Chain A
Amino acid sequence: MPNVLVVEDSPTMRQLISFAIKRIPNCRVVEATDGVDALKKLSSDKIDLILADINMPVMDGLKLVSLVRGNPAFKDIPVIMVTTEGAEEDRKRAIAIGANAYLPKPIQTQELLKLVTSYLSGQSK
Chain B
Amino acid sequence: MEKDSSYLSKADEFIQMFKKGEEFTKELLKENEKLRYKIVELEGLIEKSADNARTKLYEDRIKLFEDELSLLKKKFREVEEENKDFASKYLEVEQENNNLANLYVASYQLHSTLDFPEVLRIVLEIVINLIGAEKFAIMLIDEKANELVSVAAEGVDITTAPKVQVGSGTSGRVAQKGESYFAENLTDLDEDNPFEPIVCIPLKIKEHVIGVISIYKLLTQKAGFTNVDYELFNLLAGQAATAIFSSKLYTQSERKLTTIQSFLDLLKEKPKKQENR
Which residues of A are in contact with B by a Cβ distance under 8 Å? Answer: 10-13, 15-16, 19-20, 23, 84, 86-87, 104-110
Contacts and interface: CB of A to CB of B under 8 A. Distances in A.
A86 B109 CA distance: 25
Interface string B73-113: 00000000000000000010011001001101110110000
B219 A19 contact: no
Contacts of B125: 10-13
Contacts of A109: 98, 101-102
Contacts of B198: none
8 contacts: A16-B130, A19-B104, A86-B219, A105-B219, A105-B221, A106-B131, A107-B129, A110-B98
B126 interface: yes
Interface residues of B, number: 24
Contacts of B108: 15
| Most-contacted residue by chain A among B104, B108, B220 (CB, 10 A) | B220
Given A11-B122, A86-B220, 18 more contacts: A10-B129, A11-B109, A12-B106, A15-B105, A16-B101, A84-B219, A86-B219, A86-B221, A105-B129, A105-B132, A106-B129, A106-B130, A106-B131, A106-B132, A109-B98, A109-B101, A110-B94, A110-B95
B114 interface: no
A38 to B, nearest CB: 19
A28 to B, nearest CB: 18
A23 B104 CA distance: 14
B222 interface: yes
A16 B102 contact: yes
Given A105-B128, A110-B95, A16 B105 contact: yes
Q: Which residue of B91, B109, B134 has the most chain A CB atoms within 10 A of its CB atom?
A: B109
Interface string B133-146: 01000000000000
Pairs of residues from A and B, 7 with the lowest C-beta to C-beta distance, nearest first? A86-B221, A109-B98, A106-B132, A12-B125, A104-B221, A86-B220, A12-B109
